[in-house]
Chains A and B, each alone.
Chain A
């Protein structure tokens, strides 16, 4: 649809440039009037999907709020068991990755293919770092201590009878969030593959980059609220 007559000036191999998956050669759906409308629609659809994600996490937040109201003692003890340094480190990691994700969109818009890939790589590395910190420094140590959800609980020094419930909420909340981190990183890997193999994303075609970045920012947003709720509020 939007094939250019002038060749790409700088050394992109013809095989990539001629590929139907290269961004210049990609067409929009037959049922759209313009590519812009398709882009706007995809973005609106993504935002609607993000609202469903927010409401999914609303269940976790609601559980947190209700049980904190009922058992403030257990919740105060619970946040005391968590180390704010890991939480803060993970927050910083996610914020950084959010920035690189935003940059990836910018690079796609400006057709900076190299920096697009670099930004995606940094984002995925940050995701791995986040999961690594979570699993190695948080889950491993806590589960080793017996600070586990529900009937798995075996930590002998707990003060409040409702502390297993705190751990249930903690593991479910951070677990579902971590799952979203993994999904987001997976999406970025897909984006990376197409960016590297076909240079599929450019100024007129960057919907997937944009939507993946939106998803990633939402994962970041959820963590921005989970971090103080779990680690700082007592």
Chain B
């Protein structure tokens, strides 16, 4: 850093990671910090932990579906030649696993299965994927990319992290008490009448309610930050596209999340006091709950995917060394998706709603395809004649284009009313949204983490290791979920612990794929830990990026910049601009940046 200090002539300021001596003092500093970078890192570890929890649940679901034993009495001849009858029941494998850790008391295997897939859904949606990109990478890089010292309301930012932790604790408490089996959607009347003697459902609903506040506060903070804290010289159309997408995300978070608040509040009243709003016995309407729920939960799907799209815009431009194609089209399509997201929630309840509304929602749902396709076309056009470096972030970006396109295109038959009535609640839907959420968001998240890892922690990661992990994730993901399209079209319903024999081969392939997928993430975990412990020191700008975060040191100093940056070039002007911290001696700057074609 000394060279940089000489360059800027400023007194030495430590990296944001350097804290006071002493473990307790460090912990106290992190727990009370209002620095957006520390909060972003804390979010990163928190959501990755939740990803681990939800991922374990997903693997357990796949284990059960590998070989669900039918409810039969099997007669075998034992060594003595006697006929022995053993009765087996569905869910035996889960039952055995949970008996092993002493959590299966009084539950049948199918009950455990219901709880495990609910756990997977609730944890992945509310605790992992909604806060994943905006709260971790967004928190860290949004102010830096804007050239600001912090987000608009730093203390609110810390508060939102604590609310997130607090809400997650409610969820974990519910899980430790035995978990809920309502499905992550908490549909009434099931969620108001099930699990009679326990507060687990109440706890899980409260968790989702509390987590909503965290989401609102983060979104609010980002909107104000984007409006008020752009560096001098940075107009709206000089912002990196990641900022645009996080901005659009934040708008959705602010507008949609309060509705889930009132929905879950009404659900709690309904469950605890039986006020009848969702109970047909008193004239209430369970489908009204579904309207309330999806008014939030559909827009929130775009909360999940929009920041991922922003990351992809960054990765493709930087690692192809090419000005992004159609900057404004991508920026406006982010806002377009945010706008359309509020018009299409009904497609989740086609089978429950009236025909007129279903037709309206079906037509409106197709609108989503337009801005989404605009983005994909622009990304592909960006790659044209680019200087593509096939390193880990770029590979993840290319993988995103592949899997997300499959996910998006398989959505169209679901938007079509006639075909949806057949595919509704089948594995086709499961495969579709995993291709969008996992193949879209998680893949982009992984790409983004690799892209910004050197900046966040000041250490390079092992490129070959990361590439192996990436390849395993790619193979595992597609094996796991592509089979599920076939299962769905053949009629395998979702959320079942058992199936007819014809489905077994495909289910087994899917389960083997999930193991490869899991292995891929383990490889990534090892690579990350290795990087933190023994990683090579990262240069300030390993990829030759032009956005403002590459003007900081790696890792950034406490206040991000030595001087308030003044923006003089666009974020993607690779043809005309020398990247910050550019050293002609080793261009491409870092060998880890990969071989350029």
Answer whether A and B touch in the complex at a CB cut-off of 8 Å. yes
Write the residues of chain A forming the contact surface with B, with a CB cutoff of 8 angstroms.
29-32, 37, 40-42, 44-45, 48-49, 51-60, 62-63, 66-67, 70-71, 74, 149-152, 161-162, 164-165, 168-169, 171-172, 176
Interface residue? B537 (CB, 8 A): no
| B263 proximity list for chain A (CB < 8 A) | 59
Of residues 415 through 469 on chain B, the ones whose CB sits less than 8 Å from some CB of chain A are none
A161 to B269, CA, bound (A): 20
CB of B273 within 8 A of chain A?
A: yes
Q: Tell yes or no: B494 within 8 A of A by CB.
A: no
Closest Cβ of chain A: how far from B188's Cβ, in Å? 13
| Closest B residue by C-beta to A74 | B283
Question: Contacts of B274 on A, CB cut-off 8 Å?
Answer: 150-151
Q: How far is the CA of A71 from the CA of B280 in the complex (A)?
A: 13
- In chain B, residues 115-164, which have Cβ atoms closer than 8 Å to a Cβ of chain A? 143, 148-150, 152-154, 156
Query: Contact residues of B with A, CB < 8 Å?
Result: 143, 148-150, 152-154, 156, 216, 220-221, 223-224, 227-229, 254-259, 261-263, 265-266, 269, 273-277, 279, 282-285, 288, 291-292, 559
Provide the residues of chain B in CB contact with A45, threshold 8 Å. Answer: 152-153, 156, 220-221, 224
Q: Which of the residues A31, A63, A70 comes within 8 Å of B266, measured between beta carbons?
A: A63
User: How far is B222's CA from A179's CA once the two chains are assembled, in angstroms?
Assistant: 28
The answer for the CA separation of A54 and B292 in the assembled complex, in Å, is 15
Residues of B within 8 A of A152 (CB): 273
B156 cross-chain contacts in A, Cβ below 8 A: 45
For the complex, would chain A's binding face be called helix, strand, loop or mixed by DSSP majority? helix
Task: Point out the residue from B143, B221, B258 that lies within 8 Å of A56, measured CB to CB.
Answer: B258
Query: Can you list 30 contacts pairing A with B, beta carbon distance less than 8 Å?
Result: A29-B154, A30-B150, A31-B148, A31-B149, A31-B229, A41-B153, A41-B227, A41-B228, A41-B229, A44-B223, A45-B153, A54-B258, A55-B255, A55-B256, A55-B258, A56-B258, A57-B262, A58-B262, A59-B263, A59-B266, A60-B262, A62-B291, A63-B266, A67-B283, A150-B273, A151-B274, A164-B282, A172-B265, A172-B277, A176-B265
Q: Whole-angstrom distance from the CB of B150 to the nearest CB of chain A?
A: 4
Residues of A close to B261: CB separation below 8 A: 52, 56, 59
Q: B259 near A56 (CB under 8 angstroms)? A: yes
CB contact between A149 and one of B255, B257, B259, B276 (< 8 Å): that residue: B276
Q: Is the CB of B228 within 8 A of A162?
A: no
- Enumerate chain B residues within 8 angstroms of A44, measured Cβ to Cβ: 223-224, 227-228
Enumerate chain A residues within 8 angstroms of B221, measured Cβ to Cβ: 45
A152 to B279: give the CA distance in the assembly, Å: 14
Separation of A41 and B259 alpha carbons in the complex (Å)? 24
In whole angstroms, how far apart are the Cα atoms of A63 and B152 in the complex? 35
Complex CA–CA separation, A63 to B278 (angstroms): 10
Choose from A52, A55, A169 the contact partner of B277 (Cβ within 8 Å): A169
- Knowing A67-B283, A152-B273, A169-B277, the reply to whether A41 touches B224 (Cβ < 8 A) is yes
Q: When the two chains form the complex, which single residue of A40, A70, A149 contacts B228, counting CB atoms closer than 8 Å? A: A40
Selected contact of B220 from candidates A49, A150, A172, CB within 8 Å:
A49
Q: Which residue of B lies closest to A149 (CB)?
A: B275
Pair A52/B228 contact, Cβ less than 8 Å = no
Given A41-B228, A56-B262, A30 and B149 touching (CB < 8 A)? yes
Contact A52 B257 (CB under 8 A): yes
A-B contacts at CB below 8 angstroms, number: 121
Among B143, B275, B284, B559, chain A packs the most CB atoms within 10 A around the CB of B275
Kindly list chain A residues whose C-beta atoms are within 8 Å of the C-beta of B153: 41-42, 45
Beyond A52-B261, A59-B262, 20 additional contacts (C-beta under 8 Å) are: A30-B149, A31-B143, A40-B228, A42-B153, A45-B153, A48-B220, A52-B257, A54-B258, A55-B255, A55-B256, A58-B258, A59-B292, A63-B288, A149-B273, A150-B274, A152-B273, A164-B283, A168-B275, A168-B276, A172-B269
CA–CA, A63 to B259, complex, Å? Answer: 12
- Nearest Cβ distance between residue A22 and chain B, in whole angstroms? 21
Question: In whole angstroms, how far apart are the Cα atoms of A169 and B269 in the complex?
Answer: 11
Docked-complex contact B282 and A37, CB < 8 angstroms: no
In the docked arrangement, what's the CA distance between A31 and B269, Å? Answer: 43
Q: Please state if B276 and A165 are interface contacts (CB–CB under 8 Å).
A: yes
Name which residue of chain A comes closest to B273, CB basis: A150
Write the nearest CB–CB distance from B323 to chain A, whole angstroms: 30
Q: Is the CB of B224 within 8 A of A48?
A: yes
Question: Which of B254, B255, B257, B276 lies in contact with A164, CB distance below 8 A?
Answer: B276
Q: How far is A217 from B230 in the complex, measured between Cα atoms in Å?
A: 31
Chain B residues contacting A58 (CB-CB under 8 Å) are 258-259, 262
- What's the minimum C-beta distance from B10 to chain A, rounded to whole angstroms? 16
Residues of A within 8 A of B255 (CB): 51-52, 55
With A and B bound together, what is the CA distance between A73 and B84 in angstroms? 67
Chain A residues near B220: list those with CB within 8 A.
Answer: 45, 48-49, 52
Asked if B283 and A165 make an inter-chain contact with CB atoms under 8 angstroms apart, the answer reads yes
- Give the chain B neighbours of A54 by CB distance below 8 A: 258
**Bound-complex Cα distance A74 to B276 (A):** 14
Instruction: Write the chain A residue with the least CB distance to B153.
Output: A45
Listed from nearest, the 7 A-B pairs whose CB atoms lie closest are: A59-B262, A150-B275, A31-B149, A168-B275, A55-B258, A31-B150, A52-B258
Does A53 contact B276, Cβ atoms closer than 8 Å?
no
Assembled-state Cα–Cα distance A56/B415 (Å)? 28
Measured between beta carbons, the chain B residues less than 8 angstroms from A48 are: 220, 223-224, 254
Give the CA-CA distance A42 to B285 in the complex, in Å: 40
Q: Is the CB of B258 within 8 A of A31?
A: no
Q: Which residues of B contact A49 (CB under 8 A)?
A: 216, 220
